[in-house]
């Protein structure tokens, strides 16, 4: 199994056109052994995440693009910038999603990767039960797209120490990127539209 995202740019397509296109594609994906497929709207992007059988062929992908959409980042072209797979829950009722996107400032790709490599090194070989599960972050043409399954059993009101750590990390990240989603609006005072789940399988 391979975790593979791709990204569409979709300025003019309506939600109805998007859903109609994916309604045709989803049965074919399922028949081909694709699992945990979902499409997320972020501004005029559609971030598409799926778990594919090894060697899956994407040759027919463009047949199912909504009218007005174009391929922004093709499957297998996005660079993996961070991962924390942890313990993956097959029962998706046990998780909630966090999907996010940012735009990196010019020349900051290596620094973004370096900061996240530090997190991986600190974690070492430890496989945590949660709260993060099946967490990957991808680079596509200067944009960052993240997909994470948060385990509901770990949900809690953040402590003051956790809030302070989040503020420190996210404020530092603002040196190298700008947000497209509303994840840190509570810190910056900016307004971004939340991510929309368009469809899932």
Asked if residue 45 has pLDDT above 90, the reply is: yes
Which residues on neighbouring strands pair with residue 146, listed in sequence order? Answer: 100, 137
Give the model's pLDDT for residue 70.
85
Distance (Å, whole) CA 152 – CA 43: 27
Residues 6 or more apart from 88 whose CB is under 8 A from it?
Answer: 133, 134, 149
Tens digit of pLDDT for each residue in 9-38? Answer: 987 656 666 777 777 788 888 888 999 999
Helix, strand, coil % (nearest 5) of the chain? 30, 35, 35
**Spatial distance between the Cα atoms of 182 and 195, rounded to a whole number of angstroms:** 8
**For residue 73, what pLDDT is reported?**
96
pLDDT of residue 12: 63
| pLDDT tens, position by position, 64-102 | 777 778 889 999 999 999 999 999 999 999 999 999 999
Name the β-bridge partners of 6. 48
**143 vs 28, more confident:** 143
CA distances from 82 to 31, 64, 87, 200 (A): 30, 29, 16, 23
- The predicted model gives 126-139 an average pLDDT of 91
Top-confidence residue, 63 or 163? 163
Lowest-pLDDT range of 58-62, 86-90, 105-109, 149-153? 58-62
Q: Which residues are paired to 136 by β-bridges?
A: 83, 147
pLDDT reading at 43 higher than 70: yes
Domains of the chain, earliest start first: 2-200 (3.30.70)
Residues 150-197: tens digit of each pLDDT: 999 999 999 999 999 999 999 999 999 999 999 999 999 999 999 999
Question: What torsion, rounded to 10 degrees, do the Cα atoms 117, 136, 91, 38 define?
Answer: 180
């Amino acid at each position: 199994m391979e975790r593979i995202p791709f990204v569409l740019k979709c300025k003019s397509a309506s939600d109805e056109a998007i859903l109609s296109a994916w309604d045709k594609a989803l049965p074919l994906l399922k028949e081909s052994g694709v699992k945990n497929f979902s499409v997320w709207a972020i501004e005029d992007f559609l971030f598409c995440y799926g778990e594919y059988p090894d060697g899956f062929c994407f040759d027919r992908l463009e047949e199912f693009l909504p009218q007005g959409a174009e391929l922004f980042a093709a499957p297998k072209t996005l660079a993996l910038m961070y991962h924390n797979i942890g313990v993956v829950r097959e029962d998706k009722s046990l998780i909630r999603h966090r999907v996010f996107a940012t735009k990196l400032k010019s020349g900051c790709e290596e620094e973004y990767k370096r900061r996240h490599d530090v997190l991986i090194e600190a974690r070492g070989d430890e496989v945590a039960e949660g709260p993060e599960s099946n967490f990957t972050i991808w680079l596509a043409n200067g944009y960052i797209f993240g997909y994470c399954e948060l385990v509901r059993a770990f949900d809690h009101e953040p402590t003051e120490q956790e809030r302070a750590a989040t503020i420190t990390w996210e404020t530092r990240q603002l040196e190298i990127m700008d947000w497209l989603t509303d994840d840190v609006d509570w810190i910056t005072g900016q307004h971004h539209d939340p991510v929309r789940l368009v469809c899932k399988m």
